[in-house]
Structure 1
Amino acid sequence: MPPRRVVTGRSRQPRQRFAEELRLLRSRNGDSLRKLGEVLGWDWSLFGKMESGETLGGPEVVQALDQHYGTPGLLLTLWELAVGDPTQFREQYRRYMALEAEAVSLWHYAVSAPPGLLQTGGYAREALAADGTRGEELNQQVEARIGRRELLERDDAPPFRIILSEAVLRTQLRDAQAWREQVEHLVEASDRSNITLHVLPFSAGPHGLMNTAVKFLRLPDGRTVAYTENDVRGELIEETSRVESLQRLYDAVRDLALSPVKSRKFILRMLEEVPCEPST
C-alpha cells in the first residue's frame, strides 16, 4: 500500500499558509522580530505584520528571508501563491476603501481610466459592464462607486491631487454622450479648490509608472499608505520603504506632467473633439 499522506494541519488559504510558515521558521530559528530586523536590515515591525497576515511584504524581503532560513525558493513560492489569491485582493481593496474614508489627503496617478472618485455614473456603468458585471450587481456597484465622490464634495473634503495619463482622455466610451459628460466632469473637478489635476501627455515619454496606477493616502496618524493596481491585481502597501519608493516615482511623473492651468486647457481641447448629443 502507498504510504499515507501526512496531514499537517496547515491552512489551505495561501495568505494564511504564508504567514504560518513565517512564524514557524522564525520560532525554529530562535529569532526575535527585532533580531530579524537587525540581521536583514528591515524594520522589525514589517516582519510582525507579515506573520499576522496584515501585509505580504515584497519579493525582496521574502527572498532575504528564504536566504536567512536556508529555504531557497520556499517562501517566495508561498508568497507568489498568496499574491495570486483573488480573495486577498478583495480584502486589500476593502481595507483601502476604509482607509480612504478617513484620509486627510490623497494623490493618485491614473494610467487608463479616471479614478473612481472622479467617475460619472455613465462612465462607471460602462466600465463595470466591460468587466462582465450585470443586472442588480451592476446597479449596486455603480451606486457604490458614485457614492465615493461624496468624499471630495463634503465641506471638509481632503486635498486631492490627480495625474491623468493622456491615455485616460484618449480611451473614450462607446456612448459618446456619456463620455462627454465624463470629460466635462473632469473640467468641473479641476475648478474645485481642493482638487489639483494634471495631465501627463504622451510626449512626456517613458517613466516609472507607465503600467501602474497608484493611489496614496495620508492618514490622520501621519502614515502614508499606497495602493497599486492593474487589470488583474491590486496591492495595499504599508511598508514605509516601499511607499517612499513609489512616492519618488510619482514625484518624477508629476515633474513631467502639465501644470494645472495647461492641463485644464488640454482637457478642454479634448472636449472639442467629443460630439455633442444630437438634438431631437
Structure 2
Amino acid sequence: MVNIRDLDPSASPLDYYGFELRRLREAANLKQSDLGGIVFCTGSLIGQIETARKVPTRDFSERVDAALGTGGLFSRLVGLVLRSQLPAWFQAYAEMEAKAAYISTFQAQLVDGLLQTEAYARAVLGARIEEDLDAKVAARMERQRILDRENPPLMWVVLSEAVLHQEIGGWQVMRNQLAHLLALRSREWVQVQVLPFEAGAHAGLPGTFTLLRFEGDPDLVYTEDFVQGHMTANPQTLRDGSLRYDHLQAAALSVEDSASRIARVMEERYGNRPGSDGRAVA
C-alpha cells in the first residue's frame, strides 16, 4: 500500500506538484491505480509522485494533463519542478541562462550542458551523484528546451579538442555525442568551434567560462570551481571575458573545419569496434 502523507504545497515545487496531482485525481474520482492505468504507469508511481518521493518527467506530465483535462497545468509545473532539482547554487544561473539572448561559452573539459545527449549527461552526472540521478539528468535535459523555443538564444560554443577525446560513458556514448554535435549544424542559431591541440597556449587556459548577453539587461560572466558557480556583471571582468573569448574564436577552427575535426575524431577514435563475436559493430 502506498504510504500517504500530508504535503505542504508551499514547501517546494515538487510538493506543490504532488499536492495538485492528488487533488485533481481525487476530484476525478480516480484511484492511483486507475490513473496509472490511463497514463501507462503503476499506481505506486502515482503515489510516489503525489507524496513528493519521485520526480515527474515531462512525458508523464503531458500524459496526466491529457488524462485529467487540466489545460496543461502539469506540463507547466514540471519545468519548475525539474529546475528545483538542479544544485541550489546553479539555479540562479539556469534562470539567467533561460533569459539570455546570446550565450557564448568556452568548454575545456566537457560538452556544454545545453548540447549534451541524455546518455552523456547521465555519465557525467553519474560520476559524482548516486542519489536521484534520473531527476538530475531530467533537469539537465529540461534546460535544453530553451534551444527549441520559437525565439531561441543565439549560442556560440568553443570546445577544446580535448573534449572530443575524453571518453565519457564509453565509446558508443561518445560516438553518439559527437554525432549530435554534428547534427546541430541544422540549427543556425547554434554554432560550434573546436580549439585544436595545435593552437598551443591559448586564452582559455585559466578554464571554462560563459558569457550571457541580454536584451536590455547587464551582461554576465559565469565561471565554476569544484564547489559552486560564480556570476558577475563587473565591467572589468566582462571586458576581460569578452577579450578572451574573441581570442579563443580566432584561434579555433572555423565552424566548417570544426565539423570536419569532430567527424574525424568520431570515426578514428569512436568508429567501428569489434563485438564479442569478433565482428565489427557500428
- SS of the residue aligned with 2:198? helix
- The structure 1 residue matched to 2:98, chosen from 73, 98, 101, is 101
- SS of the residue aligned with 2:209? strand
Tell me what 2:176 maps to.
181
Measured against aligned partners, the alpha-carbon deviations of 1:113-137 in whole angstroms (never above 9, x if no partner) come to 0000000111111111111x124x1
Q: Give RMSD over aligned pairs.
A: 2.0
**How many Å apart are 1:230 and its aligned residue?**
3.8
Tell me what 2:271 maps to.
275
Inter-partner Cα distance in structure 2 for 1:148 and 1:233: 18
Inter-partner Cα distance in structure 2 for 1:264 and 1:230: 29
- SS of the residue aligned with 1:94? helix
Tell me what 1:110 maps to.
107
**How many Å apart are 1:276 and its aligned residue?**
4.1
Measured against aligned partners, the alpha-carbon deviations of 1:130-166 in whole angstroms (never above 9, x if no partner) come to 11x124x111110010111111122211110000000
Inter-partner Cα distance in structure 2 for 1:238 and 1:108: 16
Inter-partner Cα distance in structure 2 for 1:153 and 1:221: 22
Tell me what 2:229 maps to.
234
- Mapping of 1:2-21 within 5 angstroms? none
The AA in structure 1 aligned to 2:183 is: E
Tell me what 2:213 maps to.
218
Number of aligned residues: 190
Contact 1:199 1:263 in 2 (8 A): yes
Inter-partner Cα distance in structure 2 for 1:233 and 1:222: 24
**How many Å apart are 1:202 and its aligned residue?**
1.1
1:192 aligns to 2:187 (yes or no): yes
List runs of 5+ in structure 2 lacking aligned partners.
Answer: 1-86, 276-280
- SS of the residue aligned with 1:155? coil
Contact 2:114 2:144 in 1 (8 A): yes
Contact 2:211 2:241 in 1 (8 A): no
TM-score (norm: length of structure 2): 0.63
Percent of paired sites with the same residue: 31
Q: Quick one: higher RCO (CA 8 Å, sep 6+), 1 or 2?
A: 1
Summarize the Cα distance change of 1:153–1:110 in structure 2 as closer, same or farther, 3 Å threshold: same
**How many Å apart are 1:222 and its aligned residue?**
4.0
The AA in structure 1 aligned to 2:108 is: V
Inter-partner Cα distance in structure 1 for 2:207 and 2:228: 11
- Mapping of 1:200-215 within 5 angstroms? 200-215=195-210
- The structure 2 residue matched to 1:263, chosen from 258, 263, 273, is 258
Inter-partner Cα distance in structure 2 for 1:100 and 1:249: 20
- The structure 2 residue matched to 1:121, chosen from 103, 113, 118, is 118
Contact 1:183 1:267 in 2 (8 A): yes
Inter-partner Cα distance in structure 1 for 2:169 and 2:152: 32
Inter-partner Cα distance in structure 2 for 1:264 and 1:138: 31
**How many Å apart are 1:193 and its aligned residue?**
0.7
- SS of the residue aligned with 1:148? helix
Tell me what 1:32 maps to.
none
1:145 aligns to 2:140 (yes or no): yes
1:158 aligns to 2:153 (yes or no): yes
Instruction: Extract structure 1 runs of 4+ deviating beyond 3 A.
Output: 230-233, 275-280
Inter-partner Cα distance in structure 1 for 2:221 and 2:188: 24
Inter-partner Cα distance in structure 2 for 1:115 and 1:231: 16
Contact 2:155 2:191 in 1 (8 A): yes
Inter-partner Cα distance in structure 2 for 1:230 and 1:251: 23
